[in-house]
Amino acid sequence: MTSYASFHARSISPDSRAAFWEEQARLIDWETPFDQVLEYDKPPFARWFVGGRTNICHNALDRHLPSRGTQNALIWVSTETGQERVYTYDELSAEVNRMAASLQSLGIVRGERVLIYMPMVPEALFAMLACTRLGAIHSVVFGGFASVNLAARIDDARPKVIVSADAGSRNGKVVPYKPLLDEGIALAQHKPSSVLLVDRGLAPMPRVAGRDVDYAPLREQHLDAFVPCEWMESSDPSYVLYTSGTTGKPKGVQRDTGGYAVALASSMQHIFCAKPGDTMFCASDIGWVVGHSYIVYAPLLAGIATVMYEGTPIRPDGGIWWRIVEKYKVTQLFTAPTAIRVLKKQDPAYLTQYDLSSLRLIFLAGEPLDEPTARWLTEGVGKPVVDNYWQTETGWPILGMARGVEVLPGKLGSPGKPVYGYDVKLVNEATGEDCGPNEKGVLAIEGPMPPGCLSTLWGDDERFVKTYWQTVPGRMLYSSFDWGVRDEDGYYFILGRTDDVINVAGHRLGSREIEESIASHPAVAEVAVIGVQDALKGQVAMAFAVLRRPEQAETADARLALEGDVMKTVDKQLGAVARPARVFFVSMLPKTRSGKLLRRAIQAICEGRETGDLITLEDPAALEQVRDALKGA
């Protein structure tokens, strides 16, 4: 068996890199073979599989039809509406062709942009695949984004058509999309020629004459449609995805076609250990990169079934995800650590109530995985829990455990080692020099970036270079803007964003380190730590914690005593320098709908600033919790 060390070395060495990626490129179909694996004569711009022509939709659907047309391809479960639908590869192909023909009838051709503003419904996935089939560039905007932010993305992408719906639903509450969309278009300078609407019957949906088109009757006109795939040059853009939390002009991450397909197909084999006939349940959202890569494209490229889920981890109860695993024989589950921490607060009986024998691996990403959560899940489910770390910009994991190559021992708290293709460095932020073992540094990547990573920022090559490649002193390296440390065995540990590092009187403290310490206190279920401006120390750390039993902090005296006890825990584990200035107790933390903590929003409230772009906030009441906690400070 190949050692992972030699596998990784082959993937990044200039002498063997081309041969390595030529092998990986055989995992997809090429209509025209490429004549050059890598073109890197204009760093940091990398072009992969130059001259090759392919199509992502062909590779995700058409090539599978002869051998697995009757196999499950898409399993849609909505606990919000109580609906479930299963599509075979044949059925999914038919729906994608109907959507493609519908978009064609609205003027969509190769190179046009389509903005998709949809809830987690099958039609959203049909639209994404239909765009890649036509050679159009799609841009999915997270469903429920506020109108101002939607308008900014419309003006940047300049779509000819927007695909949307009447409403989504969250925790049983209908979220109307159409009023937000209409206002967003009104605010935008660019106006789409058409808006294609899916009516779910959840909310009133007034139509704009001459612009709005209902999908249902248009679909009926194209029931027997077959739209040939548009063969794209490997470097042609496939989609643009705007980074979350963007302020000012959005950053549109531009993805290519051939490199992305190769990277995802390869990752399903080497990282996610998938084989045809498997079923993957990625509990994310198509508005985020995890949803693009591992709900939509990668599973279908690998010839397996994908579960698309509309709902929360605890509705109707904390066993719903495990029930889906049992019913649909899920083999790989992929979610975020925050979602697991939510499940951790539920009845532990749910972990043993369902038949999870089909489940082989659980993958977590999106934020650092704390040791208590990893240990709880591993022991509770009895399946390997595999962390991985990556970004919107990269499209697939940077750090992880490539178990399909070699099963190496994991380390709690570490997402693993550099994934093949990534020449990862840890560098000193001030000098740009490489860090040694156990030295904190900024995680960076030596160019060329591997296939699948962003090729540039949409319409702004200069911003791409300046933002990502010119921040490390004296070196052209891609900066992740994340702090990390590497141990003697080559395992990396992510300590938080460089802008989440708290500088207390000259001491640099990773917010994650303090969070893990506080989370180890038996009374604490969840915690967020942020740095707040302080006239004396520069910054001080503040913590907002959710308790396992809220009654422990019902009185002022009880809160004070518990706060002191939590601080003692930090003192003991990290030293007094890491002790937060205050620990506030709240019943919920501000999060995005995909489960990420909105630390910057908490920080803004603490510093008396505007919270800014909070269109992805799951529950606005969480911000009020923070404000109320501060009132007594």
C-alpha distances (whole Å) from 51 to each of 36, 47, 58 are 7, 10, 18
Q: Which of 64-68, 367-371, 378-382 has the highest mean pLDDT?
A: 64-68
| Cβ neighbourhood burial of 392 (10 Å; 0-12, 13-18, 19+) | middle
Say what the pLDDT of residue 497 is. Answer: 73
The pair of three-digit structure tokens given for residue 254, joined into one six-digit string: 């531009």
pLDDT(573) > 80: no
Q: Count of CB atoms within 10 A of residue 221's CB?
A: 12
Q: For 295, which DSSP code?
A: I
Mean pLDDT, residues 68-79: 98
pLDDT over 90 (residue 496): no
Q: How far, in Å, are 84, 351, 356 from residue 327 at the CA level?
A: 12, 15, 9
> For the chain, what is the total number of helices (H) and then of strands (E)?
21, 32
Q: Sorting pLDDT into bands at 50, 70 and 90, what band is 513?
A: confident
Q: What confidence tier does 574 reach under pLDDT thresholds 50, 70, 90?
A: confident
The CATH code of domain 505-631 reads 3.30.300.30
- Res. 569: pLDDT tops 50: yes
**Can you tell me the mean pLDDT for 377-398?**
95
Per-residue pLDDT at 353 exceeds 90: yes
* Residue 538 pLDDT > 80: no
Percent of the chain with pLDDT over 90: 76
Cite the residue boundaries of each domain of the chain with CATH code 3.40.50.12780. Answer: 4-311+388-481
Amino acid type, 600: R
Give tens-digit pLDDT for 399-447: 999 999 999 999 988 999 999 999 999 999 999 999 999 999 999 999 9
590 or 261, which is more confident: 261
Spatial distance between the Cα atoms of 427 and 434, rounded to a whole number of angstroms = 4
Handedness of CA 352, 355, 360, 361 (dihedral sign): negative
Q: Is the pLDDT of residue 102 over 90?
A: yes
Q: Poorest-confidence range of 138-147, 420-429, 541-550?
A: 138-147
- The pLDDT score that the predictor gives to residue 246 is 35
Q: How far is CA 565 from CA 138, 307, 325, 576, in A?
A: 51, 43, 40, 13
Q: Mean pLDDT, the chain, as a whole number?
A: 92
Higher pLDDT pick, 336 / 307? 307
Q: Determine the pLDDT at residue 507.
A: 61
483-492 average pLDDT score = 96
Strand order in the sheet with 239-242: 212-214, 194-198, 161-165, 113-117, 137-140, 239-242, 252-255, 456-457
Overall size of the chain counted in residues:
633
pLDDT band at 247 (very low <50, low <70, confident <90, very high): very low
Give pLDDT, residue 627: 87
DSSP character for 82? T
360 or 631: which leads in pLDDT? 360
Q: Best-predicted range by mean pLDDT among 349-353, 503-507, 609-613? A: 349-353
Taking 60 as the threshold, does the pLDDT of residue 517 lie above it?
A: yes
CB-CB neighbours of 380 under 10 Å: 16
Reply yes or no on domain 4-311+388-481 having CATH 3.30.930.10: no
In which residue ranges of the chain is CATH 3.30.300.30 found? Answer: 505-631
Higher pLDDT, 306 or 614: 306
The pLDDT of residue 245 is 38
Does residue 615 register a pLDDT over 60?
no
Q: What share of the chain is helix, strand, coil (3-state, %, to 5)?
A: 35, 25, 40
Torsion region of 608: left, alpha or beta (phi above 0 gives left; psi -120 to 50 gives alpha): left
Rounded distance between C-alpha atoms, residue 430 and residue 433, angstroms: 8
